[in-house]
Homo-oligomer: A and B are copies of this chain.
Amino acid sequence: MAENLVPLPFDPAGIQLDRRQGLSRQLYQALRARVLDGRLGGGTRLPATRDLATMLAISRNSVVRAYDQLYAEGFIEGRVGDGTYVAQLSQTVSSLAKLSTKVSTALPTGLPTALSTNGINFTVLTSSKIIHNSAMERLQHYSLPPPKSGPPRAFRVGVPAFDLFPFDVWAKLQAGFWRKPDLQQLGYGEPAGDPRLRELIAAYLRGSRGLSCSAEQIVITSGAQQAISLCAQLLLEPGDVVTVENPGYRAAGNAFAIAGAQVQGVAVDNDGLDCTELANIENCRLAYVTPSHQYPTGVTMSLARRLELLAWAERSQGWIVEDDYDGEYRYSGAPLAPLAALDRQGRVLYVGTFGKIAFPAMRLGYLVLPRQLVPAFSQRRALDVRHSEVGTQVVMAEFMAAGHFQRHIRRMRRAALSRRNALLAGWPVDIPGCGALPNVAAGLHLMVPVDSFARECELIELAEGVGVEINALSDYWLPDSREPVDNRAGLVLGFAAVAEAEITAATARLRKAWVE
Protein backbone atom coordinates (compact mmCIF):
# COMPACT_ATOMS: atom_id res chain seq x y z
CA MET A 1 0.00 0.00 0.00
CA ALA A 2 0.93 3.65 0.03
CA GLU A 3 3.03 3.30 3.15
CA ASN A 4 5.54 1.23 1.17
CA LEU A 5 6.20 4.15 -1.19
CA VAL A 6 7.23 6.56 1.51
CA PRO A 7 10.97 7.23 1.10
CA LEU A 8 11.43 8.66 4.58
CA PRO A 9 9.40 8.06 7.67
CA PHE A 10 7.99 11.39 8.86
CA ASP A 11 9.58 12.32 12.13
CA PRO A 12 8.04 15.30 13.85
CA ALA A 13 10.61 15.23 16.66
CA GLY A 14 12.52 18.21 15.28
CA ILE A 15 9.46 20.45 15.21
CA GLN A 16 9.65 22.90 18.10
CA LEU A 17 6.51 24.89 18.76
CA ASP A 18 6.33 27.98 20.94
CA ARG A 19 3.07 27.71 22.87
CA ARG A 20 2.80 31.47 23.33
CA GLN A 21 2.27 32.01 19.59
CA GLY A 22 -0.03 30.74 16.85
CA LEU A 23 0.52 26.98 16.73
CA SER A 24 -0.99 26.25 13.34
CA ARG A 25 1.17 28.94 11.68
CA GLN A 26 4.30 27.56 13.33
CA LEU A 27 3.46 24.03 12.25
CA TYR A 28 2.72 25.25 8.72
CA GLN A 29 6.07 27.04 8.61
CA ALA A 30 7.98 24.06 9.97
CA LEU A 31 6.44 21.67 7.46
CA ARG A 32 6.84 24.10 4.57
CA ALA A 33 10.53 24.59 5.38
CA ARG A 34 11.03 20.80 5.41
CA VAL A 35 9.34 20.42 2.03
CA LEU A 36 11.36 23.24 0.49
CA ASP A 37 14.73 22.06 1.80
CA GLY A 38 14.12 18.42 0.91
CA ARG A 39 13.94 17.00 4.43
CA LEU A 40 10.41 15.98 3.52
CA GLY A 41 10.71 14.49 0.05
CA GLY A 42 7.96 14.44 -2.56
CA GLY A 43 5.57 11.56 -1.94
CA THR A 44 6.24 11.42 1.81
CA ARG A 45 3.04 10.49 3.57
CA LEU A 46 2.08 12.81 6.38
CA PRO A 47 0.54 11.49 9.58
CA ALA A 48 -3.21 11.81 10.00
CA THR A 49 -4.13 15.09 11.66
CA ARG A 50 -5.29 13.33 14.84
CA ASP A 51 -2.00 11.42 15.15
CA LEU A 52 0.21 14.43 14.54
CA ALA A 53 -1.83 16.45 17.08
CA THR A 54 -1.20 13.74 19.67
CA MET A 55 2.52 13.53 18.87
CA LEU A 56 2.95 17.30 19.18
CA ALA A 57 0.47 17.64 22.04
CA ILE A 58 -1.53 20.34 20.30
CA SER A 59 -5.17 20.52 19.23
CA ARG A 60 -6.25 18.67 16.14
CA ASN A 61 -7.72 21.94 14.82
CA SER A 62 -4.24 23.48 14.70
CA VAL A 63 -2.99 20.61 12.58
CA VAL A 64 -6.01 20.82 10.27
CA ARG A 65 -5.44 24.54 9.71
CA ALA A 66 -1.74 23.98 8.98
CA TYR A 67 -2.52 21.16 6.52
CA ASP A 68 -5.23 23.28 4.88
CA GLN A 69 -2.79 26.10 4.24
CA LEU A 70 -0.10 23.74 2.93
CA TYR A 71 -2.71 22.16 0.70
CA ALA A 72 -3.97 25.51 -0.58
CA GLU A 73 -0.43 26.57 -1.41
CA GLY A 74 0.38 23.29 -3.14
CA PHE A 75 2.98 21.89 -0.72
CA ILE A 76 0.94 18.78 0.08
CA GLU A 77 -1.76 16.92 -1.74
CA GLY A 78 -4.54 14.60 -0.78
CA ARG A 79 -5.18 11.28 -2.49
CA VAL A 80 -8.80 10.27 -2.32
CA GLY A 81 -9.34 7.74 0.47
CA ASP A 82 -5.62 7.61 1.11
CA GLY A 83 -4.29 10.38 3.34
CA THR A 84 -2.01 13.31 2.71
CA TYR A 85 1.33 13.35 0.84
CA VAL A 86 4.08 15.85 0.18
CA ALA A 87 3.69 17.15 -3.39
CA GLN A 88 6.12 15.99 -6.08
CA LEU A 89 7.91 19.30 -6.40
CA SER A 90 11.28 17.81 -7.23
CA GLN A 91 9.93 16.40 -10.53
CA THR A 92 8.85 19.86 -11.60
CA VAL A 93 12.15 21.30 -10.65
CA SER A 94 14.27 18.55 -12.17
CA SER A 95 12.38 18.81 -15.46
CA LEU A 96 13.23 22.50 -15.31
CA ALA A 97 16.88 21.65 -14.96
CA LYS A 98 16.88 20.35 -18.54
CA LEU A 99 15.62 23.68 -19.82
CA SER A 100 18.12 25.57 -17.76
CA THR A 101 20.95 27.09 -19.74
CA LYS A 102 22.78 28.98 -17.02
CA VAL A 103 22.77 27.12 -13.76
CA SER A 104 24.70 28.80 -11.02
CA THR A 105 26.87 26.25 -9.24
CA ALA A 106 28.62 28.20 -6.53
CA LEU A 107 26.79 28.27 -3.23
CA PRO A 108 27.76 30.78 -0.58
CA THR A 109 29.01 28.86 2.39
CA GLY A 110 26.80 28.68 5.40
CA LEU A 111 23.57 29.00 3.46
CA PRO A 112 21.10 26.14 3.37
CA THR A 113 21.40 24.15 0.16
CA ALA A 114 17.84 24.28 -0.99
CA LEU A 115 16.62 21.72 -3.48
CA SER A 116 20.24 21.02 -4.36
CA THR A 117 19.57 17.33 -4.91
CA ASN A 118 17.91 17.97 -8.22
CA GLY A 119 20.55 20.01 -9.93
CA ILE A 120 19.42 23.57 -9.26
CA ASN A 121 21.07 25.52 -6.52
CA PHE A 122 19.26 28.52 -5.12
CA THR A 123 21.92 31.06 -4.33
CA VAL A 124 21.48 34.26 -2.42
CA LEU A 125 22.40 37.31 -4.47
CA THR A 126 25.38 38.69 -2.60
CA SER A 127 26.28 42.34 -2.50
CA SER A 128 29.29 41.62 -4.71
CA LYS A 129 26.91 41.06 -7.61
CA ILE A 130 26.51 44.66 -8.70
CA ILE A 131 23.43 45.61 -10.63
CA HIS A 132 24.47 46.91 -14.03
CA ASN A 133 21.84 49.17 -15.38
CA SER A 134 22.16 52.69 -16.71
CA ALA A 135 19.16 53.94 -14.73
CA MET A 136 20.76 52.82 -11.48
CA GLU A 137 24.17 54.10 -12.48
CA ARG A 138 22.73 57.53 -13.18
CA LEU A 139 21.07 57.44 -9.78
CA GLN A 140 24.41 56.81 -8.10
CA HIS A 141 25.65 60.06 -9.61
CA TYR A 142 22.54 62.13 -9.14
CA SER A 143 21.02 61.09 -5.86
CA LEU A 144 19.96 63.74 -3.36
CA PRO A 145 21.43 64.15 0.11
CA PRO A 146 19.09 62.91 2.84
CA PRO A 147 16.61 65.56 4.01
CA LYS A 148 17.56 67.67 7.01
CA SER A 149 15.88 65.96 9.93
CA GLY A 150 14.92 67.01 13.42
CA PRO A 151 12.74 69.98 14.37
CA PRO A 152 13.07 73.14 12.24
CA ARG A 153 15.91 75.38 13.40
CA ALA A 154 17.63 78.57 12.28
CA PHE A 155 18.49 78.87 9.33
CA ARG A 156 17.04 75.85 7.55
CA VAL A 157 16.47 76.49 3.86
CA GLY A 158 13.30 75.58 1.98
CA VAL A 159 11.02 75.57 4.98
CA PRO A 160 8.30 78.19 5.56
CA ALA A 161 6.89 79.34 8.90
CA PHE A 162 4.73 76.25 9.13
CA ASP A 163 4.42 76.62 12.88
CA LEU A 164 1.82 79.27 11.91
CA PHE A 165 -0.30 76.96 9.77
CA PRO A 166 -3.90 76.88 11.07
CA PHE A 167 -3.77 73.23 12.06
CA ASP A 168 -7.05 73.51 13.96
CA VAL A 169 -8.84 74.60 10.77
CA TRP A 170 -7.09 71.90 8.74
CA ALA A 171 -7.96 69.23 11.34
CA LYS A 172 -11.62 70.29 11.27
CA LEU A 173 -11.75 70.20 7.49
CA GLN A 174 -10.03 66.80 7.41
CA ALA A 175 -12.43 65.38 9.98
CA GLY A 176 -15.37 66.91 8.13
CA PHE A 177 -14.35 65.31 4.88
CA TRP A 178 -13.63 61.88 6.32
CA ARG A 179 -16.70 61.62 8.52
CA LYS A 180 -19.00 61.70 5.54
CA PRO A 181 -16.96 61.35 2.37
CA ASP A 182 -18.61 61.33 -1.01
CA LEU A 183 -18.08 57.67 -1.94
CA GLN A 184 -17.76 58.71 -5.58
CA GLN A 185 -14.44 60.31 -4.68
CA LEU A 186 -12.93 57.18 -3.13
CA GLY A 187 -12.49 55.04 -6.23
CA TYR A 188 -10.10 55.93 -9.02
CA GLY A 189 -10.14 59.67 -9.66
CA GLU A 190 -9.04 61.96 -12.47
CA PRO A 191 -5.28 61.74 -13.13
CA ALA A 192 -5.07 65.54 -13.52
CA GLY A 193 -6.55 65.99 -10.06
CA ASP A 194 -9.71 67.00 -8.24
CA PRO A 195 -11.72 69.23 -10.62
CA ARG A 196 -12.77 71.69 -7.90
CA LEU A 197 -9.22 72.14 -6.64
CA ARG A 198 -8.05 72.77 -10.20
CA GLU A 199 -10.76 75.44 -10.63
CA LEU A 200 -9.74 77.14 -7.41
CA ILE A 201 -6.05 77.12 -8.26
CA ALA A 202 -6.75 78.61 -11.68
CA ALA A 203 -8.91 81.33 -10.09
CA TYR A 204 -6.16 82.07 -7.54
CA LEU A 205 -3.50 82.34 -10.24
CA ARG A 206 -5.70 84.60 -12.37
CA GLY A 207 -6.73 86.84 -9.50
CA SER A 208 -3.61 87.02 -7.38
CA ARG A 209 -0.73 86.16 -9.67
CA GLY A 210 -1.72 87.72 -12.99
CA LEU A 211 -1.55 84.36 -14.75
CA SER A 212 -4.36 83.89 -17.21
CA CYS A 213 -5.21 80.18 -17.19
CA SER A 214 -8.13 77.79 -16.89
CA ALA A 215 -8.76 74.72 -14.74
CA GLU A 216 -8.15 72.49 -17.77
CA GLN A 217 -4.52 73.61 -17.87
CA ILE A 218 -3.85 72.59 -14.26
CA VAL A 219 -2.41 69.18 -13.39
CA ILE A 220 -2.12 68.44 -9.66
CA THR A 221 1.18 66.89 -8.62
CA SER A 222 2.83 65.43 -5.56
CA GLY A 223 4.73 68.66 -4.86
CA ALA A 224 6.95 70.68 -7.18
CA GLN A 225 9.37 67.76 -7.48
CA GLN A 226 6.85 65.57 -9.27
CA ALA A 227 5.98 68.47 -11.56
CA ILE A 228 9.65 68.85 -12.53
CA SER A 229 10.11 65.10 -12.84
CA LEU A 230 7.08 64.83 -15.16
CA CYS A 231 8.58 67.54 -17.38
CA ALA A 232 11.85 65.60 -17.43
CA GLN A 233 10.13 62.39 -18.42
CA LEU A 234 7.78 63.81 -21.01
CA LEU A 235 9.55 66.62 -22.79
CA LEU A 236 12.94 65.02 -23.32
CA GLU A 237 14.60 62.30 -25.31
CA PRO A 238 17.65 60.62 -23.78
CA GLY A 239 20.68 62.73 -24.68
CA ASP A 240 18.75 65.99 -25.04
CA VAL A 241 20.46 69.04 -23.60
CA VAL A 242 18.77 70.76 -20.64
CA THR A 243 20.07 73.99 -19.14
CA VAL A 244 19.71 74.81 -15.48
CA GLU A 245 20.72 77.87 -13.52
CA ASN A 246 24.20 77.54 -12.04
CA PRO A 247 24.25 77.77 -9.06
CA GLY A 248 20.77 76.33 -8.86
CA TYR A 249 18.31 73.81 -7.51
CA ARG A 250 20.14 70.50 -7.65
CA ALA A 251 17.01 68.36 -7.19
CA ALA A 252 15.71 69.73 -10.49
CA GLY A 253 18.98 69.21 -12.35
CA ASN A 254 19.18 65.67 -11.00
CA ALA A 255 15.61 64.90 -12.08
CA PHE A 256 16.54 65.91 -15.63
CA ALA A 257 19.79 63.94 -15.45
CA ILE A 258 18.17 60.69 -14.35
CA ALA A 259 15.71 61.07 -17.23
CA GLY A 260 18.78 60.78 -19.46
CA ALA A 261 19.30 64.47 -20.28
CA GLN A 262 22.69 66.17 -20.60
CA VAL A 263 22.44 68.87 -17.97
CA GLN A 264 24.41 72.08 -18.62
CA GLY A 265 24.69 74.96 -16.21
CA VAL A 266 24.19 78.56 -17.33
CA ALA A 267 25.49 81.46 -15.25
CA VAL A 268 23.21 83.71 -13.22
CA ASP A 269 24.00 87.42 -12.86
CA ASN A 270 22.07 90.28 -11.27
CA ASP A 271 19.39 90.05 -13.99
CA GLY A 272 18.97 86.27 -13.68
CA LEU A 273 19.89 83.56 -16.19
CA ASP A 274 22.44 84.70 -18.79
CA CYS A 275 20.37 84.30 -21.95
CA THR A 276 23.29 84.98 -24.28
CA GLU A 277 25.07 81.97 -22.83
CA LEU A 278 21.84 79.99 -23.20
CA ALA A 279 21.51 81.01 -26.86
CA ASN A 280 25.00 79.64 -27.56
CA ILE A 281 24.21 76.18 -26.24
CA GLU A 282 23.38 73.93 -29.15
CA ASN A 283 20.29 71.77 -29.27
CA CYS A 284 19.03 72.84 -25.89
CA ARG A 285 15.51 71.47 -25.54
CA LEU A 286 14.55 72.81 -22.14
CA ALA A 287 15.59 75.55 -19.72
CA TYR A 288 14.72 75.25 -16.04
CA VAL A 289 14.48 78.64 -14.30
CA THR A 290 13.34 80.27 -11.05
CA PRO A 291 12.59 83.81 -12.30
CA SER A 292 10.71 85.26 -9.31
CA HIS A 293 13.49 84.52 -6.85
CA GLN A 294 16.46 82.60 -8.16
CA TYR A 295 17.36 79.58 -6.08
CA PRO A 296 19.68 80.04 -4.24
CA THR A 297 21.03 83.51 -5.10
CA GLY A 298 17.74 85.36 -4.63
CA VAL A 299 18.04 87.35 -7.89
CA THR A 300 14.84 88.37 -9.69
CA MET A 301 14.97 87.86 -13.45
CA SER A 302 14.63 91.19 -15.26
CA LEU A 303 11.89 91.82 -17.78
CA ALA A 304 14.44 92.12 -20.59
CA ARG A 305 15.80 88.67 -19.74
CA ARG A 306 12.31 87.23 -19.50
CA LEU A 307 11.58 88.43 -23.02
CA GLU A 308 14.93 87.10 -24.24
CA LEU A 309 14.20 83.74 -22.69
CA LEU A 310 10.76 83.57 -24.30
CA ALA A 311 12.26 84.56 -27.65
CA TRP A 312 14.82 81.76 -27.25
CA ALA A 313 12.06 79.25 -26.58
CA GLU A 314 10.19 80.30 -29.67
CA ARG A 315 13.23 80.35 -31.93
CA SER A 316 14.43 76.95 -30.81
CA GLN A 317 11.02 75.42 -30.08
CA GLY A 318 12.43 74.78 -26.62
CA TRP A 319 10.53 74.46 -23.37
CA ILE A 320 10.82 76.67 -20.32
CA VAL A 321 10.06 75.13 -16.93
CA GLU A 322 9.34 78.02 -14.54
CA ASP A 323 9.59 76.92 -10.92
CA ASP A 324 7.78 79.58 -8.90
CA TYR A 325 8.46 77.86 -5.60
CA ASP A 326 8.17 80.92 -3.35
CA GLY A 327 6.62 83.55 -5.62
CA GLU A 328 3.97 84.40 -3.01
CA TYR A 329 6.62 85.98 -0.79
CA ARG A 330 7.26 89.54 -1.88
CA TYR A 331 7.78 92.19 0.73
CA SER A 332 6.76 95.33 -1.16
CA GLY A 333 3.72 95.37 -3.41
CA ALA A 334 2.03 92.35 -4.92
CA PRO A 335 3.92 89.24 -6.06
CA LEU A 336 5.50 89.58 -9.49
CA ALA A 337 3.60 88.18 -12.44
CA PRO A 338 5.20 84.89 -13.45
CA LEU A 339 7.13 84.44 -16.67
CA ALA A 340 4.26 82.23 -17.81
CA ALA A 341 2.02 85.32 -17.85
CA LEU A 342 4.13 86.73 -20.70
CA ASP A 343 4.15 83.49 -22.70
CA ARG A 344 2.11 83.72 -25.89
CA GLN A 345 3.63 80.71 -27.62
CA GLY A 346 2.74 77.95 -25.22
CA ARG A 347 6.37 77.26 -24.34
CA VAL A 348 6.28 77.83 -20.56
CA LEU A 349 5.33 75.12 -18.06
CA TYR A 350 4.63 76.78 -14.74
CA VAL A 351 5.35 74.85 -11.52
CA GLY A 352 3.56 75.93 -8.34
CA THR A 353 3.52 74.38 -4.89
CA PHE A 354 1.63 74.54 -1.62
CA GLY A 355 4.76 73.37 0.19
CA LYS A 356 6.08 76.87 0.86
CA ILE A 357 2.74 78.30 2.01
CA ALA A 358 1.50 75.29 4.00
CA PHE A 359 4.34 72.80 4.65
CA PRO A 360 6.53 70.57 2.46
CA ALA A 361 5.23 67.21 3.76
CA MET A 362 1.79 68.02 2.30
CA ARG A 363 3.29 67.08 -1.10
CA LEU A 364 0.79 69.14 -3.05
CA GLY A 365 1.83 71.08 -6.11
CA TYR A 366 0.63 71.74 -9.62
CA LEU A 367 1.62 72.43 -13.18
CA VAL A 368 0.02 75.06 -15.40
CA LEU A 369 0.51 73.67 -18.87
CA PRO A 370 0.25 74.92 -22.43
CA ARG A 371 -3.02 73.40 -23.58
CA GLN A 372 -1.49 71.05 -26.13
CA LEU A 373 0.54 69.32 -23.39
CA VAL A 374 -2.33 68.59 -21.00
CA PRO A 375 -3.41 65.18 -22.36
CA ALA A 376 0.12 63.75 -22.34
CA PHE A 377 0.83 64.94 -18.80
CA SER A 378 -2.46 63.53 -17.51
CA GLN A 379 -1.89 60.20 -19.20
CA ARG A 380 1.64 59.92 -17.93
CA ARG A 381 0.52 60.73 -14.40
CA ALA A 382 -2.15 58.04 -14.65
CA LEU A 383 0.53 55.46 -15.44
CA ASP A 384 2.93 56.79 -12.82
CA VAL A 385 0.64 57.12 -9.80
CA ARG A 386 -3.01 57.11 -11.05
CA HIS A 387 -3.64 60.39 -9.17
CA SER A 388 -2.89 62.19 -5.90
CA GLU A 389 -4.37 61.19 -2.56
CA VAL A 390 -7.97 62.40 -2.38
CA GLY A 391 -8.17 63.87 1.14
CA THR A 392 -5.43 66.46 0.75
CA GLN A 393 -6.91 67.65 -2.53
CA VAL A 394 -10.50 67.94 -1.31
CA VAL A 395 -9.49 69.56 1.97
CA MET A 396 -7.20 72.06 0.23
CA ALA A 397 -10.06 72.94 -2.11
CA GLU A 398 -12.29 73.60 0.89
CA PHE A 399 -9.48 75.56 2.59
CA MET A 400 -9.22 77.77 -0.50
CA ALA A 401 -12.95 78.14 -1.09
CA ALA A 402 -13.51 79.25 2.52
CA GLY A 403 -10.86 81.99 2.23
CA HIS A 404 -8.38 80.35 4.61
CA PHE A 405 -5.76 80.09 1.93
CA GLN A 406 -5.66 83.80 1.05
CA ARG A 407 -5.67 84.70 4.73
CA HIS A 408 -2.88 82.28 5.36
CA ILE A 409 -0.76 83.68 2.51
CA ARG A 410 -1.05 87.13 4.07
CA ARG A 411 -0.16 85.71 7.51
CA MET A 412 2.84 83.85 6.10
CA ARG A 413 4.06 86.91 4.20
CA ARG A 414 3.90 89.04 7.36
CA ALA A 415 5.65 86.32 9.36
CA ALA A 416 8.41 85.83 6.81
CA LEU A 417 8.94 89.60 6.63
CA SER A 418 9.19 89.86 10.38
CA ARG A 419 11.60 86.91 10.53
CA ARG A 420 13.64 88.40 7.71
CA ASN A 421 13.84 91.62 9.71
CA ALA A 422 14.99 89.72 12.80
CA LEU A 423 17.80 88.17 10.74
CA LEU A 424 18.83 91.48 9.16
CA ALA A 425 18.78 93.21 12.56
CA GLY A 426 20.76 90.51 14.34
CA TRP A 427 23.24 89.66 11.59
CA PRO A 428 26.83 90.24 12.78
CA VAL A 429 28.55 93.20 11.10
CA ASP A 430 32.03 92.88 9.67
CA ILE A 431 32.28 89.12 9.53
CA PRO A 432 35.82 88.50 8.29
CA GLY A 433 35.83 87.10 4.74
CA CYS A 434 32.10 87.59 4.32
CA GLY A 435 30.33 90.06 2.01
CA ALA A 436 27.42 92.33 2.83
CA LEU A 437 23.89 91.11 3.33
CA PRO A 438 21.86 91.48 0.15
CA ASN A 439 18.67 93.44 -0.23
CA VAL A 440 15.96 90.83 0.45
CA ALA A 441 12.78 91.83 -1.39
CA ALA A 442 11.33 88.36 -1.83
CA GLY A 443 11.44 84.70 -0.88
CA LEU A 444 12.32 82.75 2.23
CA HIS A 445 16.09 82.71 2.08
CA LEU A 446 19.06 84.90 1.27
CA MET A 447 22.61 84.37 0.10
CA VAL A 448 25.68 86.12 1.50
CA PRO A 449 28.87 85.90 -0.57
CA VAL A 450 32.03 84.61 1.10
CA ASP A 451 35.61 85.20 -0.09
CA SER A 452 36.73 81.60 -0.42
CA PHE A 453 35.67 77.99 -0.12
CA ALA A 454 37.93 77.60 2.87
CA ARG A 455 36.21 80.45 4.69
CA GLU A 456 32.74 79.20 3.67
CA CYS A 457 33.51 75.81 5.12
CA GLU A 458 34.93 77.36 8.30
CA LEU A 459 31.95 79.68 8.87
CA ILE A 460 29.50 76.82 8.38
CA GLU A 461 31.38 74.56 10.78
CA LEU A 462 31.55 77.28 13.41
CA ALA A 463 27.82 77.87 12.97
CA GLU A 464 27.09 74.16 13.29
CA GLY A 465 29.16 74.21 16.48
CA VAL A 466 26.71 76.70 18.02
CA GLY A 467 23.67 74.81 16.69
CA VAL A 468 22.98 77.00 13.66
CA GLU A 469 22.25 75.35 10.30
CA ILE A 470 23.62 77.12 7.22
CA ASN A 471 23.90 75.77 3.68
CA ALA A 472 27.03 76.20 1.57
CA LEU A 473 26.57 78.01 -1.73
CA SER A 474 29.19 75.61 -3.12
CA ASP A 475 26.65 72.77 -2.79
CA TYR A 476 24.40 74.46 -5.35
CA TRP A 477 26.95 74.47 -8.18
CA LEU A 478 27.06 71.72 -10.78
CA PRO A 479 30.13 69.52 -10.32
CA ASP A 480 31.79 70.67 -13.55
CA SER A 481 31.26 74.42 -13.13
CA ARG A 482 33.91 76.61 -14.73
CA GLU A 483 33.57 79.70 -12.50
CA PRO A 484 36.73 80.64 -10.56
CA VAL A 485 36.55 78.62 -7.38
CA ASP A 486 36.42 81.52 -4.98
CA ASN A 487 33.58 83.25 -6.79
CA ARG A 488 31.40 80.34 -5.85
CA ALA A 489 31.49 80.49 -2.08
CA GLY A 490 28.68 81.83 0.06
CA LEU A 491 26.22 81.18 2.82
CA VAL A 492 22.59 80.33 2.10
CA LEU A 493 20.22 81.01 4.99
CA GLY A 494 16.52 80.32 5.27
CA PHE A 495 14.96 82.90 7.55
CA ALA A 496 11.38 81.64 7.84
CA ALA A 497 11.72 78.27 9.59
CA VAL A 498 11.73 79.52 13.19
CA ALA A 499 10.30 82.42 15.19
CA GLU A 500 11.95 85.81 15.70
CA ALA A 501 13.29 85.12 19.20
CA GLU A 502 15.06 81.99 18.00
CA ILE A 503 16.51 83.89 15.04
CA THR A 504 17.82 86.63 17.35
CA ALA A 505 19.35 84.02 19.65
CA ALA A 506 20.95 82.27 16.68
CA THR A 507 22.47 85.47 15.30
CA ALA A 508 23.84 86.28 18.76
CA ARG A 509 25.52 82.87 18.86
CA LEU A 510 26.87 83.40 15.34
CA ARG A 511 28.34 86.75 16.40
CA LYS A 512 30.20 85.04 19.23
CA ALA A 513 31.38 82.19 17.04
CA TRP A 514 32.38 84.28 14.03
CA VAL A 515 33.36 87.77 15.11
CA GLU A 516 34.15 88.07 18.79
- Mark contacts of A72-105 with chain B using CB atoms, 8 A cut-off: 1 yes-contact digit, 0 otherwise: 1111000000000001010011001001111110
Question: Given that A225-B383, A226-B384 are known contacts, is A361 also in contact with B390, CB under 8 Å in the complex?
Answer: yes
Instruction: Give Cα A133 to B333, complex, Å.
Output: 41
Q: Is A267 an interface residue (CB 8 A)?
A: no
A380 contact set on B, CB distance < 8 A: 135, 139, 258
Instruction: Give Cα A312 to B469, complex, Å.
Output: 51
CB distance from A321 to the nearest CB of B (A): 15
Contact of A379 among B139, B334, B342 (CB under 8 A): B139
Q: Is A152 an interface residue (CB 8 A)?
A: yes
Q: Is A109 an interface residue (CB 8 A)?
A: no
Q: Is A402 an interface residue (CB 8 A)?
A: no
Interface centre among A89, A171, A360 (most CB of B within 10 A): A171
Q: Is A485 an interface residue (CB 8 A)?
A: no
CB distance from A129 to the nearest CB of B (A): 8
Q: Is A434 an interface residue (CB 8 A)?
A: no
CB contacts under 8 Å to B, within A356-384, are 359-364, 370, 372-373, 376, 379-380, 382-384
Binding stretch for chain B, among A234-242, A406-414, A472-480: A234-242
- What is the total number of residues of chain A having a CB less than 8 Å from a CB of chain B? 137
- Mark contacts of A140-156 with chain B using CB atoms, 8 A cut-off: 1 yes-contact digit, 0 otherwise: 00111011111110001
A124 contact set on B, CB distance < 8 A: 344-346
A100 to B311, Cβ gap below 8 A? yes
A385 to B223, Cβ gap below 8 A? yes
Binding stretch for chain B, among A43-51, A54-62, A301-309, A421-429: A301-309
B385 to A222, Cβ gap below 8 A? yes
A311 to B120, Cβ gap below 8 A? yes
B87 to A303, Cβ gap below 8 A? yes
With CB as the reference atom, state the residue of chain B lying closest to A337: B73
Q: Is A248 an interface residue (CB 8 A)?
A: no
A101 contact set on B, CB distance < 8 A: 315
Interface centre among A180, A361, A382 (most CB of B within 10 A): A361
B222 to A188, Cβ gap below 8 A? no
- Mark contacts of A198-239 with chain B using CB atoms, 8 A cut-off: 1 yes-contact digit, 0 otherwise: 000000000000100000000000110110010001111110
Q: Is A162 an interface residue (CB 8 A)?
A: yes
Instruction: Give Cα A28 to B168, complex, Å.
Output: 37
- Mark contacts of A107-126 with chain B using CB atoms, 8 A cut-off: 1 yes-contact digit, 0 otherwise: 00000001000001011110
A361 to B389, Cβ gap below 8 A? yes
A125 to B370, Cβ gap below 8 A? yes
A382 to B143, Cβ gap below 8 A? yes
With CB as the reference atom, state the residue of chain B lying closest to A240: B133
CB distance from A97 to the nearest CB of B (A): 8
A389 contact set on B, CB distance < 8 A: 222, 361-364, 388-389, 392
A178 to B167, Cβ gap below 8 A? yes
Contact of A143 among B134, B362, B379, B388 (CB under 8 A): B379
Instruction: Give Cα A229 to B176, complex, Å.
Output: 33
Question: Given that A125-B372, A333-B69 are known contacts, is A303 also in contact with B74, CB under 8 Å in the complex?
Answer: yes
Instruction: Give Cα A210 to B156, complex, Å.
Output: 43
Q: Is A16 an interface residue (CB 8 A)?
A: no
- Give the interface of A toward B (CB within 8 A): 25, 28-29, 32, 36, 65, 68-69, 72-75, 87, 89, 92-93, 96, 99-104, 114, 120, 122-125, 127, 129, 131, 133-136, 139, 142-144, 146-152, 156, 158-159, 162-163, 165, 167-168, 170-172, 174-181, 183-190, 210, 222-223, 225-226, 229, 233-238, 251, 254-255, 258, 276, 279, 302-304, 306-308, 310-311, 314-316, 330, 332-334, 336-337, 342, 344-347, 359-364, 370, 372-373, 376, 379-380, 382-392
Closest 4 CB pairs of A and B: A74-B303, A171-B178, A147-B188, A361-B390
- Provide a sorted-by-A list of 6 A–B residue pairs whose CB atoms are within 8 angstroms: A69-B334, A73-B337, A89-B303, A124-B344, A125-B346, A361-B390
